[in-house]
Chains A and B, each alone.
Chain A
Amino acid sequence: MDPIIASASVLAAAFAVGLAAIGPGIGQGNAAGQAVEGIARQPEAEGKIRGTLLLSLAFMEALTIYGLVVALVLLFANPFS
């Protein structure tokens, strides 16, 4: 593999995951904070809030996973090599 392509791919893979983690990180923090607030206000709704929170956290996590998939493609199945 051309060293320039290799180095560009490694850098791009790192950026893909790193940048993709920012948005969902903020979003998950917001969601978890709101869920804690909700539980503090209404402790009897904890089970429902937890279920919804886990589901929505997984949705947000999926966005980072897309970045990860791009990174994995660049590392293991690079179309330009």
Chain B
Amino acid sequence: MLNVIPTSFPTLLAELEVGQHLYWEVAGLKIHGQVFLTSWFVIAVLVLVSFIATRKVERVPSGFQNLMEYALEFIRDLAKNQIGEKEYRPWVPFVGTLFLFIFVSNWSGALVPWKLIHLPSGELAAPTNDINTTVALALLTSLAYFYAGFSKRGLGYFSRYIEPTPILLPINILEDFTKPLSLSFRLFGNILADELVVAVLVLLVPLFVPLPVMILGLFTSAIQALIFATLAAAYIGEAMEGHGAEEHE
């Protein structure tokens, strides 16, 4: 196999293994253990922060509560902009979970020195670095917008496929497949590309030079989390909206 970055290279932090995993056997299934470990870490961080923020809720927020109220307002505005004033409220938790999970995952991959912890095989990195995580998130988004469309419009949801003309039926059906595909590949590719670039630069010049790229990586990973959440909200809003003439009132 073509490993551009040799795993035997002496610098500790520059290792990067693509396609090598810590396999766990659970009920006959092979699962990628390192993704689970980091996902649990991310989930723990989120739960802990939410718990601390809501333990003593005060009228005038300060500290963690302030931060989380800001995050909540941000997510609420995002959902409101994409889904619409009337329908957005039930979807805030879903969109917010997507955003926070992806955001904390991406940043944990960049900020937590995972490489110091050695695994028997594979290595710890951001959970979104693994295509399975992003595909799962994208498929959840697909399910969510189908559910949103059905619960709002019933079988009238299918009329969306023959709009504006029935000629576009194949393209409209294809769109349902390309949506999760592009969502998952975008996130996975961005995060993996970011880690690869940083790893290659660290391999070449271990000190200071990779720093601007790391900061750029933090920026792009935050933007990717925002984009994933925005697109999920936009798809949900689009599914509920309905372009049909009978829907306009």
**For the complex, what is the distance from the CA of A66 to the CA of B2, rounded to whole Å?**
20
CB neighbours of B4 from chain A (8 A): 75
Of residues 25 through 45 on chain A, the ones whose CB sits less than 8 Å from some CB of chain B are none
Provide the residues of chain B in CB contact with A75, threshold 8 Å. 2, 4, 18
Interface pair B1/A81, CB less than 8 Å apart = yes
**Residue from B1, B188, B196 in contact with A1 in the complex, judged by beta carbons closer than 8 Å:** B1
B38 at the interface (CB under 8 A from A): no
Instruction: Please give the number of chain B residues whose Cβ is less than 8 angstroms from any Cβ of chain A in the complex.
Output: 20
Question: B181-213: which have CB < 8 Å to A?
Answer: 182, 185-186, 188-190, 192-193, 196
Footprint of A on B, CB under 8 Å? 1-4, 18-19, 182, 185-186, 188-190, 192-193, 196, 223-224, 226-227, 230
Select from chain A the residue with minimum beta-carbon distance to B193: A68
Q: Which residues of A contact B3 (CB under 8 A)?
A: 76
A54 to B192, CA, bound (A): 20
| Total A-B residue contacts, Cβ distance less than 8 Å | 50
Q: Is the CB of B189 within 8 A of A69?
A: yes
Main secondary structure of the interface of A (DSSP, over half): helix
CB neighbours of A55 from chain B (8 A): 226-227, 230
Asked if A6 is an interface residue, CB under 8 A from chain B, the answer is: yes
Complex alpha-carbon distance, A16 and B222, angstroms: 26
Task: Verify if A22 is at the interface (C-beta below 8 Å from B).
Answer: no
Measured in the bound complex, the distance between the Cα atoms of B4 and A75 in whole Å is 8
> Out of A1, A62, A77, which one reaches B185, CB within 8 Å?
A62
Beta-carbon contact of A77 and B19 below 8 Å: yes
Chain A residues positioned under 8 Å from B189 (CB to CB): 62, 65-66, 68-69, 72
**Alpha-carbon distance between A61 and B223 when the two chains are bound, in angstroms:** 12
Q: Is the CB of A65 within 8 A of B193?
A: yes
Selected contact of A69 from candidates B19, B185, B223, B227, CB within 8 Å: B185
Q: Which residues of A contact B223 (CB under 8 A)?
A: 54, 58
Closest to B20 in A: A76
Question: A14 at the A/B interface (Cβ < 8 Å)?
Answer: no
Question: Nearest-CB distance from B181 to chain A (Å)?
Answer: 9
Residues of B within 8 A of A65 (CB): 185-186, 189-190, 193
**In this complex, which of B2, B196, B230 has the most chain A Cβ atoms within 10 angstroms of its Cβ?**
B2
CA A24 to CA B188, docked complex, whole Å: 18
Contact A69 B2 (CB under 8 A): no
Beyond A55-B230, A75-B4, A76-B2, whether A62 also contacts B193 by CB under 8 A is no
- Knowing that A58-B224, A76-B3 touch, tell me 17 more A-B residue pairs with CB under 8 angstroms: A6-B2, A9-B2, A55-B230, A59-B227, A62-B182, A62-B186, A65-B189, A65-B190, A66-B185, A66-B189, A68-B189, A68-B193, A69-B188, A72-B189, A75-B18, A77-B19, A81-B1
Question: Which residues in A have their C-beta under 8 angstroms from that of B186?
Answer: 58, 62, 65
Known contacts A58-B227, A62-B182; decide if A72 and B2 are in contact (CB<8 Å).
no
